Structures are given as C-alpha cells and as structure tokens.
Amino acid sequence: MKNGANFKQQAARLILDKPDRGFLRYLLKSKTVIDCRSKIQTIDSTYSFKIESMPEPRTLPADILPLLDVQRIFEELQEYKSEKRYFNISIVKDKLLDILREDGWYGLLIPQNHLEINSIAKLEAATDYAVMALKSYMDKFLSMKKSA
C-alpha cells in the first residue's frame, strides 16, 4: 500500500471468503473464542440458573448451519461493515456458511445442549453466534490483508 493511501477506501476490493492456507494459519494462531454464557443466562433465567463447566470451545454443528437465518447474518454483517468503514470488503451471502464450516478458527463457550436446536429461540441464538464469529472473522480478514 502506498504511503498516505487509505487502505479501507483505496485498496482493491476484497471478497470475504473461506480462508486460504496462509490466512487459516493466522486464524489458528489467534483463534476467536466467543463467550456466549451471558446470553444463555438471559435465555435460561426463566428456568433455573445452573453453572456448567465448559472445558473446550465448541463450533456451530454443520447440521444446523443450513437452518440459520443467512439473510439476517448478511444484513448484520453489512451493517457492521458500514460501521467499521470497511469500504473495500464485499460480502457474498452464499459464502458465509462456507466460512462457518471451516474448522478451527473460532470457538463458542457454550453448553452443548444450547447447540441442539429444538426451539426458535435457540435457532435465533445460534444465528447470533454466527454473526459474532463472522464479525471477528471480518476484522481479522481485513487486518491480514492490510498487513500483506
């Protein structure tokens, strides 16, 4: 990038896509871990409060990805892109689930039973988790491209 140029506005257009090898290595070194426990406490507060130890972060199971509200994910990422002024990133809705299918780059601190989709509330929460993970992915994607 030339000195004095604004990367966010003047760099080439970047398409948010599955990570290539180099980017995946970068992601694995700085894995995104999202603590979903506060959101769960809000959902569970009407039932009972129970602390559960969660030794390892989990990912969204592949079988629930097609159930997610991809349109909402896309719209929230577009809004985030505008807020962060990421002018040179293009988001393609059809690529979002492929990014989430990629192993190892993110983890959710969440009890396993909250990833078993048996209610609309859990499906909406899973969509929220996908949005949070993809926002982090977008930040790291731009950071990696900017430093290249």
In 29-59, which positions are buried (b, 16+ CB within 10 angstroms) versus exposed (e)?
Answer: eeebebebbebbeeeeeeeeeeeeebeebbb
pLDDT in tens, 33-74: 998 876 554 444 445 555 555 458 899 999 999 999 999 999
Q: Residue 109 is part of which domain span?
A: 10-147
Q: Decide if 4 is inside a domain.
A: no
Q: Decide if 88 is inside a domain.
A: yes
Confidence of residue 7 (pLDDT cuts 50, 70, 90): very low
Q: Decide if 99 is inside a domain.
A: yes
pTM for the full predicted model = 0.82
Q: How many domains is the chain built from?
A: 1
Q: Decide if 2 is inside a domain.
A: no
So what's the pLDDT on residue 119? 95
Q: Decide if 3 is inside a domain.
A: no
Spatial distance between the Cα atoms of 120 and 141, rounded to a whole number of angstroms: 31
Q: Decide if 1 is inside a domain.
A: no
Token code pair at residue 52: 């559960």
pLDDT in tens, 81-95: 999 999 999 999 999
